[in-house]
Amino acid sequence: MLGSIMNVVKTPAAAALLVACLSLACGVDAASPPPPVQPTMRFDPAADFAAWQEQLRARLIEILALPPGPHGPLEATIVREDETEQYTLDRVDFTSEPGERVPGYLLRPKAARPPLPVMICLQGHSPGMHISIGRAQTPSEQESIKGGRDIALQAVAHGWAALAIEQRAFGLRARPAVRCQDASLHGLLIGRPITGGRVLDVMRAIDFIATQPDLDATKIGCMGNSMGGTVSLYAACVDPRIRLAVVSCSFCVFADSWLARPHCACGYLPGIYAVADMPDLAGLIAPRHLMIVAGRKDPLAAFEGVEKGAAWTRQIFAKAGAPEHVELLAEDGGHRFYPELAWPAIAAVASSWDAKAEGSFQKTSP
């Protein structure tokens, strides 16, 4: 029977999807050796760099199934929810695409002068966006926050405005009795991996930021831990308006992470490894800034694979004339965010920005 099924599989994407479904159904050992795949669009130092970036970005947009722009109206709502001595807190809500409203929290530091740089803050597999603003609802959530996950509060403390949005299938956007894995497979059934929808939400969040006169739409970062970091990476790959991507416990060569140990189905992109490895994809961010935060004892990403991937990505950035724009910050810990490492480096990046900063940050629609 399997042979008959394989006869109709004509593309790498279809093969990857079939393997993923069979693995879920049959319990295939996720620690088995990765298949002998040679990505077809790996970085080639001898190739035309701009053409390679353009072609790989177009292929990634296709895999993410991102709709072409221009997108529809945001229909945003903004309601003041709280105010402290340090910041104001607004509850925001905007349309990403028909049928998808994105809730979020917008924090503005009182001590900083506008226009404010903005950090888009993404939680991974957690109870929701309220973790980003440090408002635990249970003791277990308080423990989660201790892992450095109150990233929106950290941003405000360092002079950034912060937009913490709820990712699809998490928190307020989780459907009753539907797990993240189920929602991910539903997405594949209708033709878009859930990561593609999450990336679209980030792009629309940037559209929203551009409507706020006190926010600087030319100084936007995107950060997150775990799946939040994965989405931050892919969003920066396809949207040049993101000048800094801070990816925590989510960057690694595929062979030492997604192909080596179990992960949630929501992070798998059909056929992506047949096209490029994660370090190649990260090269789409060049010459902007990429900050890789890692735990040397992270069970989901072997640190050797993190180092290998960072070194490869740095070579790609060197082709763009900016090898120093890739930073690897590591701590002897596990799967969490390390603010004491990241924020001094983020501050250094922000201080380097000026009117003639690297790259073009004008809106481009896939």
For residue 32, what pLDDT is reported? 56
Cα separation, 10 vs 22, in Å, equals: 17
Is the pLDDT at 11 greater than 60? The verdict is no
CATH architecture of 77-352: 3-Layer(aba) Sandwich (3.40)
Mean pLDDT computed over 49-73? 97
Is the pLDDT at 311 greater than 80? The verdict is yes
Tell me which residue of 259, 247, 258 sits closest to 295, measured CA to CA.
Answer: 247
Compute and round to an integer the Cα radius of gyration of the chain.
Answer: 20
3-state class percentages of the chain: helix first, strand second, coil last, to nearest 5: 40, 20, 40
Mean pLDDT computed over 24-51? 75
CB 84 within 8 A of CB 77: no
Is the pLDDT at 31 greater than 70? The verdict is no
The lowest-confidence range among 88-102, 322-336, 351-365 is 351-365
Tell me which residue of 243, 315, 249 sits closest to 279, measured CA to CA.
Answer: 315
Is the pLDDT at 257 greater than 60? The verdict is yes
Mean pLDDT computed over 47-70? 97
pLDDT tens for 288-310 read 999 999 999 999 999 999 999 99
pLDDT tens for 191-247 read 999 999 999 999 999 999 999 999 999 999 999 999 999 999 999 999 999 999 999
Cα separation, 49 vs 53, in Å, equals: 6
With vertex at residue 327, the alpha carbon angle to CA 232 and CA 215, rounded to the nearest 5 degrees, is: 50
Is the pLDDT at 16 greater than 50? The verdict is no
CB 124 within 8 A of CB 159: no
Strand 244-248, strand 161-165: pairing:
unpaired
Stated as kind and residue range, the H or E segment containing 311 is helix 303-319
Cα separation, 361 vs 363, in Å, equals: 6
For residue 21, what pLDDT is reported? 46
pLDDT tens for 123-171 read 988 888 989 999 988 988 888 888 899 999 999 999 999 999 999 988 7
Strand 100-109, strand 116-122: pairing:
unpaired
Cα separation, 324 vs 180, in Å, equals: 36
Q: Put residue 104 in one of left, alpha, beta given phi > 0 → left and psi -120 to 50 → alpha.
A: beta
Q: Which residues, 6+ apart, have CB-to-CB distance to 100 below 8 Å?
A: 168, 197, 201
Mean pLDDT computed over 77-100? 97
Q: Which residues, 6+ apart, have CB-to-CB distance to 192 below 8 Å?
A: 64, 65
| Domains of the chain, residue spans | 77-352
State the chain's mean pLDDT as an integer.
Answer: 88
Which pair of structure tokens corresponds to residue 199? 């990336």
Strand 289-295, strand 244-248: pairing:
parallel
Greater model confidence, 211 or 69? 211
Q: Which residues, 6+ apart, have CB-to-CB distance to 140 below 8 Å?
A: none
Is the pLDDT at 268 greater than 80? The verdict is yes
Mean pLDDT computed over 68-83? 95
